[in-house]
Amino acid sequence: MPELTYADALREALREEMLRDPRVVLMGEEIGVFEGVYKVTRGLLKEFGPERVRDTPISEAAIAGAAIGAALGGLKPVAEIMYMDFLPIALDQIATQAAKMHFMSGGKLKVPMVLRTQYSLGRVHGAQHSQFFPSVLFQVPGLKVVLPSTPHDAKGLLKSAIRDENPVVFIESGMLYRTKGPVPDGEYVIPLGQCDVKKTGNDITIVAVSRVVTEALAAAVKLEEQGITADIIDPRTIQPLDLPTILESVKKTGRLIIASDDVKCGGIGSEIAAQVVEEAFDSLDAPILRVAAPDMPIPFSPTLEQAYMPNAQKIIEAAKRLIG
């Protein structure tokens, strides 16, 4: 199987969907001539022309609003918000407009748009260019929230997101763009709302999200040396969440860690922990632990940023607390 980077896998998904469906258009800051800050849109302006690949002014609210209008008008826009830090500027358009149309019109209106964005935690971009706050989005009914962790998943999930009839927020990890992984030749899609079990074990379930999946897999290797085997589950979409797969694993292992790059307070880990306690309390053999970022702004110092981020070592320590 050929190896592609995460960025190139995303580019293949965009290109294939643009070839497949003339209604698919791209818009965003610096995505055309400059080909995107992380080069995800490389070559697409040349191939598809300025009608379908549009550079926009620096106004996130306008980007999201234009995408909604285009989607209502019959196109399938893929809009890019360069950093997740800028996404709140467009939150009125995303949460209050895009997510509501389908419901407020009794299903008559559809908003088939994808909002791509990325978070750069780990790239020493400081407190205002590294933020990751998926809970702001998964708390909005009507939005689907996708968080791919591998090139393979990035491609298959982006294609599904583009084909979806209603708004999808697609959150990429800046740290993953240059990572390589196997991507099959030819057409494939990955349905939204399905976990992927990246590794199987018996003693502990580790649900890991986006960049942290790699950390969890590294932790699993170390834990195995000590005789502890783990199920590593990547939810891939956190809204909708594939809870049954997580429950099945927890029923087997009795122990759960949720590891993600967002802050601990009210984050992905909090929500999954609550749902597991509601549905599988009697299967738990230990408290549920969250490995997440501290409830603090992201430090600019590279040393402090490393200390701030969830990593394999922190996951190993959590696992040991549970197994003793």
Q: Which residues bind other proteins (CB under 8 A)?
A: 254, 281-286, 321-324
To other proteins, the closest distance from the beta carbon of 320 in angstroms equals: 9
Tokens 């008559």 belong to residue: 108
CB atoms within 10 A of CB 92: 13
- The SS3 of residue 257 is strand
What is the rounded radius of gyration, in angstroms, for the C-alpha atoms of the chain? 19
Known catalytic residue: 129?
A: yes
Q: Are 12 and 186 in contact (CB under 8 A)?
A: no
Minimum distance from residue 278 beta carbon to other proteins (Å):
12
Token duo for residue 275: 């749902």
* Residue 319: CB minimum distance to other proteins, A: 11
Between residues 225 and 282, which has the closer beta carbon with respect to other proteins?
A: 282
**Closer residue to other proteins, CB minimum distance, 165 or 285:** 285
At 144, is the secondary structure helix, strand, or coil?
strand
Q: What's the farthest any 2 CA atoms get from each other in the chain?
A: 60
Tell me the closest approach of the beta carbon of residue 282 to other proteins, in angstroms.
4
For residues 91 and 286, which CB has a smaller minimum distance to other proteins in the complex? 286
Nearer to other proteins, 46 or 320 (CB): 320
The tokens describing 128, both together, are 């205002």
The full DSSP string for 187-207 is -----TT--EEEE--SSEEEE
What residues are labeled active site? Answer: 129
